[in-house]
Structure 1
Amino acid sequence: MSFVSIGDLSRGFAMRTQNAEIKARLSRLGEEVTTGVTANPAERLRGDFRALGAIERSLAVMDSYDLATKEAALTTDAMQTALSRLYDTGQTLSGSMLNASTMHDARTVNALGRESKERLDLTVATLNIQVGGRSLFAGAATDSAALASGADILAEVQTAIAGLTTANDVVAAIDAWFDTPGGGFETVGYIGSDNPAGPVRLNEGNSMTLDVTASDPVIRDVLKGLVAGALLSDENLFSGDLDERAELLGAAGEQLLTNTAELVSLQGEIGVAQARIETIGTENAASRQMLDLARLDMLSVDPYDAATEFQAVEAQLETVYTITARLSRLSLADYI
């Protein structure tokens, strides 16, 4: 009878190879037990990745939609906040202006002129707000401010009203400066783009264009009232004629007050956009969940089978360790 003996070196190599293979299987099964997903998609799908690839591409597209939806929500929230500040400014300042215009108190008129000037600067800063490095009220010019500074706008209007001696004339000049096509506001005041920012695609069937800019007539009317009030920060306007100064203050207050309803309507437009974005975000989340479930259905493993196989391989590894330990203790003295 013949037999083939295995030397110690060969036996050691064979044991190490078997040990490595069992450890690799154990690691793979441990991952599958933990995640519930196969660690070898190629084997599970038999090499046909077409369906899985389509799902993965759809999930990648959903990532871009999710990002666009979050950015759109952030943009509309910021725009709504800005318009709310304009509304609060108009509400607060108009009441004070209208009350002071009937009192004919020079000190109060002067104080409200200075406050209007401060509010003009704050309003311009609010409309020049940027989110994520993008200007919100400058239309397509997202890398530009929407408006020139409050000081520059006021200086231009002061030049336009130079020599005028009545409040009515000043109000008419302010209207002309803001409303004339190609006039002062469109050439100097508003420095954004006349074109709206491009549409943002929120999912496969929906896109959105946020076309509210600082050149919107409603926002112009807010600026008119603030500029009219800010002119009174110059105590020499009308050569100090208190009656004309009070009349201009009253006109500024009426401008801000009557514009309140239109500003609320503009806020409503933004509110509709916010609601639509929220709805689309919910639809996108549902679509993502369906894709995730389809992907999981293709790659999932039976948890009971995976756990059973894991225990079997674990027992096999323990057996190898036991055999290795016993072989390492063999000696000629033990054999004799």
Structure 2
Amino acid sequence: MKTSFISNLAIQNSMRMTISRGQVEIQKLQEEVVTGRFADIGLSLGAKTSTSVSHHRDVQRLETIQDSNALVTQRLSTSQLSLAAMSDAAQQMLEAFIVANGTDDEPKLNVMRRDVEASLELFTSSINTSVNGEYLFSGINTDVKPVDDYLEPGSGAKAAFDTLFLGHFGFTQDDPAAAGITTAQMDNFIDNVLEPEFMGPNWNTNWSSASDTNISSRIRTNEVVDSSANANGTGMRSFALAAIIGIELMDSPISSEVRASVNEKAIEYAGQAVTGIDNERSNLGVSENRVAKANEAIEAQVRIMKLHLNDIEGVDGYEASTRMQSLLTQVETSYTLTARIQQLNLMNYL
């Protein structure tokens, strides 16, 4: 009969390796139970890994657009609030002109002028609104304040008007000689000198620093919208023109007939301002609606892709938990056996 030598050290090392492998597998199974997906995607999916990576990239791109759309929504909602304030200011200015219609009473004209100045101040502060350091109504020139305050000392816009009036009539609007201006002459000044200053290219030189190009935002992979307005719209130009007529001409020393004609022009431009600004609000409202629908579509796409990813990468949580419990039992048994084997020593039996 032949006997073979078996080392208890070899048995201990074998148990130790079993425990080590079991611990690694337990960690992997714990991760799978917690995340619900394979711990090692490449090892588990093999050739299908590229599909998983592609879907993850698509989900990340869509979620990036969702984050961008949140900023677009903020810009649009803030712009709407500012436009609402501008529309209210235009309406208040229109009412001030209507109340002053047909009057030469100086106190009433002074009240009208204060109301128009208050409306212009509200308009200016609203159109210069900024969010996150960007001016909302500067178009793509987001780092430039779109409109300076006309009522501030040293205003370039004020200087431009004074130059226009003096160059056309040969005296200032406050000069007593203004009483000699006829209705035809004043209409000619407003229609052929003042209005082109606001509606033509000089608006961008003397009045506005905004760009005509609005900010465009990609709200879906295949859809782009304008996400801002700018200070060069017809409504904004008409507002400024009406306000300047009210501030500079209505209470100047002109005749009653001329003042009535000027007031009629101011009412006309103020009405155009209300309409134009409300049109801007409508345009942004369309963009807001498109962004909301885009977000709904993106959310649906993300859900579908994540469901597909779960089909590819997902693990059976119950099965993984059962395997983990089985491995824990095996490891505990290995610990017990290892401890007993370590106690096997010939000296204990001598």
**TM-score, length-normalised on structure 2?**
0.80
Structure 1 gap segments, 5+ residues each: none
User: Is residue 2:181 matched to residue 1:177?
Assistant: no
How many residues matched? 328
Q: Secondary structure at the match of 2:219?
A: strand
Aligned residue number for residue 293 of structure 1? 307
Report if aligned partners of 1:109, 1:232 keep a CA contact under 8 Å in 2: no
Task: Within 5 Å, give how 1:85-164 maps onto structure 2.
Answer: 85-102=85-102, 104-150=104-150, 151=152, 152=155, 153-162=157-166, 163=171, 164=173
1:178 partner amino acid: F
Aligned partners of 1:294, 1:260: CA distance in 2, in Å?
51
2:147 partner amino acid: L
Which string of whole-angstrom CA distances, capped at 9 and with x for unpartnered residues, describes residues 195-227 of structure 1? x14643222321223574211112211121222
Aligned partners of 1:242, 1:20: CA distance in 2, in Å?
103
Report if aligned partners of 1:203, 1:280 keep a CA contact under 8 Å in 2: yes
Report if aligned partners of 1:167, 1:247 keep a CA contact under 8 Å in 2: no
1:3 partner amino acid: F
Pairwise CA distance, 1:160: 2.1
Structure 2 gap segments, 5+ residues each: none
**TM-score, length-normalised on structure 1?**
0.83
Aligned partners of 2:334, 2:248: CA distance in 1, in Å?
93
Aligned partners of 2:190, 2:255: CA distance in 1, in Å?
16
Report if aligned partners of 1:100, 1:246 keep a CA contact under 8 Å in 2: no
Pairwise CA distance, 1:193: 2.4
User: Is residue 2:204 matched to residue 1:186?
Assistant: yes
> Which residue of 305, 315, 320 corresponds with 2:329?
315
Report if aligned partners of 1:199, 1:209 keep a CA contact under 8 Å in 2: yes
2:131 partner amino acid: V
Pairwise CA distance, 1:192: 2.2
Cα RMSD after superposing both structures = 3.2
User: Is residue 2:32 matched to residue 1:32?
Assistant: yes
Which string of whole-angstrom CA distances, capped at 9 and with x for unpartnered residues, describes residues 156-197 of structure 1? 223322334259626445323212x333x2312122223x14
Q: Secondary structure at the match of 2:224?
A: strand
Q: Residues 251, 167 of structure 1: CA spacing in aligned structure 2 closer, same or farther, 3 A cutoff?
A: farther
Report if aligned partners of 2:8, 2:344 keep a CA contact under 8 Å in 1: no
Task: Within 5 Å, give how 1:123-272 maps onto structure 2.
Answer: 123-150=123-150, 151=152, 152=155, 153-162=157-166, 163=171, 164=173, 165=178, 169=186, 171-172=190-191, 173-179=193-199, 181-183=200-202, 185-194=203-212, 196-197=213-214, 199-210=216-227, 212-231=229-248, 238-239=252-253, 248=262, 251-272=265-286
> Which residue of 292, 298, 319 corresponds with 1:305?
319
Aligned residues: percent identity? 21
